[in-house]
């Protein structure tokens, strides 16, 4: 991960990628981003390199750095990979109590989501992004954490596309996820239980995809 102080900017760029329409290419230029965020080109390059490692962007000479294209034929395998990473991460944190801040964050997001309010695509992506960061934060193994974070943002890109066609169903899925994750993170639960709950949700989504394809 780039310098922790760069995480907000990294997340903003991820969100832009998620919010772009399926036919709208997203291109980043180092100089423009440096001007926008008041940075030198070095940290901007560091952020873009990190996003490249996560498979979210690719750099093309003479073009700039573009968001990678999503292949509809690969969506099911992306979902399978995500679920497998969650279960592997759960195994790595068995017996560790859920940090209090994680409990607070998940319960707070659940309450805000239940209350309704702003249901824009931007709010959906921002909320899902926070949930993804919360889950990744409890994984100590650096390789697993990096892989899980990358897989989560790839899934969020797919969910963002679903939002464009049926936002009500996508919001309902987010509400259910936060309800289940908040319960799993309740006092006394361990980190493994939280990630297993997330894996169960991922596998339920996979089943839905399989039914839709049948």
Domain ranges of the chain: 4-67, 72-213
Separation between Cα atoms, residue 82 and residue 177, nearest integer Å: 15
Q: What is the SS3 assignment for 131? A: helix
Tell me the pLDDT tens digit for each residue of 176-198: 999 999 999 987 689 999 999 99
Residue 23's pLDDT band, with cuts at 50, 70 and 90, is low
**8 A C-beta contact, residue 194 and residue 184:** yes
Q: How far apart are CA 40 and CA 35, in angstroms?
A: 8
Given the structure tokens 């592997």, which residue do they identify? 88
Backbone angles phi and psi of 63, in degrees to 5: -115, -45
Q: Domain 4-67 adopts which CATH fold?
A: Arc Repressor Mutant, subunit A (1.10.10)
Residue 212: pLDDT above 80? Answer: no
pLDDT one-digit tens code per residue, 125-171: 999 999 999 999 999 999 999 999 999 999 999 999 999 999 999 99
Based on the number of CB atoms within 10 Å of its own CB, is 77 exposed (0-12), middle (13-18) or buried (19 or more)?
Answer: exposed
Task: List residues bridging with 97 in a β-sheet.
Answer: 190
Q: What confidence category does residue 62 fall into, taking pLDDT thresholds of 50, 70 and 90?
A: confident
Asked if residue 21 has pLDDT above 90, the reply is no
| Residues paired with 54 in a beta bridge | none
pTM: 0.92
For residues 28 and 42, give the distance between their C-alpha atoms in angstroms, rounded to a whole number.
Answer: 14
pLDDT score for 159: 95
pLDDT value of position 214: 55
**At 133, phi and psi to the nearest 5?**
-65, -35
């Amino acid at each position: 991960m780039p310098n922790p102080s760069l995480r907000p900017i990294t997340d903003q760029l991820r969100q832009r990628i998620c919010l772009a329409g399926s036919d709208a290419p997203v291109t980043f230029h180092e100089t423009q981003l440096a001007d926008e965020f008041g940075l030198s080109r070095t940290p901007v390059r560091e952020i873009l390199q990190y996003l490249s490692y996560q498979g979210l962007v690719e750099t093309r000479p003479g073009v700039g750095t573009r968001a990678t294209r999503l292949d509809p034929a690969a969506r099911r395998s992306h979902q399978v990979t995500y679920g497998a990473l969650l279960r592997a991460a759960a195994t790595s944190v068995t017996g560790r109590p859920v940090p209090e801040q994680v409990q607070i964050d998940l319960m707070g997001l659940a309450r805000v989501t239940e209350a309704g309010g702003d249901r824009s695509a931007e709010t959906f992506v921002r909320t899902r992004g926070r949930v993804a960061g919360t889950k990744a934060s409890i994984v100590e193994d650096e390789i697993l954490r990096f892989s899980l974070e990358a897989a989560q943002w790839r899934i969020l890109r797919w969910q963002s596309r679903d939002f464009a066609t049926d936002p009500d169903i996508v919001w309902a899925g987010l509400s259910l996820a936060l309800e289940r994750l908040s319960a799993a993170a309740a006092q006394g639960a361990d980190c493994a239980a939280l990630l297993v709950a997330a894996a169960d949700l991922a596998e339920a989504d996979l089943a839905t995809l399989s039914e839709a394809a049948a």
